[in-house]
Amino acid sequence: MSAKQVSLTGIKPTGTPHVGNWLGAIVPALELAKRPDVVSAYFIADYHALTTVRDASQMRQLTHEVAATWLAFGLDPENTLFYRQSDLPEVFELSWVLACMTPKGFMNKAHAYKAARDTNVEKGEDEDAGVNMGLYTYPVLMAADILIVDADLVPVGKDQVQHVEIARDIAGRINHAFGEGTLKLPKAELQDQSAVVPGVDGRKMSKSYDNTLPCFLTAKKLRRSVMRIVTDSTPPEAPKDPDDSLIFDIHKALLSPEETEALAARYRGGISWGEAKQALYEALEARLAEPRERYEQWIRDPDAIEDLLASGAVRARELAGPVMDRVRSAVGGGRP
């Protein structure tokens, strides 16, 4: 593994994905696994979810759902590294070492904490109302996730670059204090090609807006969801501007440039909104039918998922062990 760069993708277990998750995150992350110069590692960040999840059975179910999802969409556990965060105790040991070298000011500027604080202020509440230390120190644990496997590359969207920068900053502090080479400095790999898919109401597709197209609905329910997409009262025969169509915005994320232009021509020539929605549904069903079947097979066999994650953890600890040995030796921990 050491001859290639390690690329690391973290997956927070937040339930069955929607089309925005699939096209915006899963597709580009799995594309990276095709690069011959990269070893792709994917982990389920279950302990990150502890900031909000308070039920053990729910946590296990969410973990199984996200594992089944990525496997359904083509993650190959034989040619990639796939594991669960909580199966690597080294992550949490390293997290404490990093926390001891992290200025509080770093956490004050973290996006998630600032968003929670700003929301509280807008409501007229104490700025730290409802903020637990897990949320506050989230970037430290994320840094440990990255650094524990000597990750070289961390594919992220623009809103996640800060987390990689914090990991680099903390690792640099560790190296300055305890010796160069104690921790590898990772780099963010910006995923410019990631699709930002709108929801059925025009806002960004998000569970919090209840505007999603879930990936693994039955064909009948998927069609019903597509038909919810907001449209105007333009007559069926009238030409329509594809650049001003929510249906087109979602549909084009599934298409090649040539297919996108052909679809745009149909809009300009006159297409009813019913036809447009039906075309989108058919395109989604064609892409999602097989993954849906694979997802259902995996979700019916949680023991198989557990076995797969356990096997991945053994391999991941082969990376994490030497990193933690270096850090312990550098800081004076453990037996010399």
pLDDT at 193 over 70: no
pLDDT score, position 192: 60
Pairing of strands 38-44, 153-156: unpaired
CA distance to 155, 163, 274, 314, 317, per residue, from 187 (Å):
9, 11, 46, 25, 22
pLDDT score, position 33: 87
pLDDT score, position 274: 94
CATH of 5-196+301-331, one of 3.40.50.150, 3.40.50.620, 3.30.70.1230, 2.40.37.10: 3.40.50.620
pLDDT at 2 over 70: no
pTM above 0.85, yes or no: yes
Report, as an integer, the average pLDDT of 119-146: 95
pLDDT score, position 206: 87
Give the three-class secondary structure for 39.
strand
Give the three-class secondary structure for 198.
strand
- Reported as a single tens digit per residue, the pLDDT across 286-303 is 999 999 999 999 999 999
Provide the CATH topology of domain 216-296: Tyrosyl-Transfer RNA Synthetase (1.10.240)
Report, as an integer, the average pLDDT of 143-153: 97
Q: What is the mean pLDDT of the chain?
A: 93
Select the more confidently predicted residue: 105 or 1.
Answer: 105
- Reported as a single tens digit per residue, the pLDDT across 233-268 is 889 889 999 999 999 999 999 999 999 999 999 999
Closest Cα to residue 153, out of 24, 23, 25, 4?
4
Report domain extents, the chain.
5-196+301-331, 216-296
The CA distance from 38 to 16, in Å, is 28
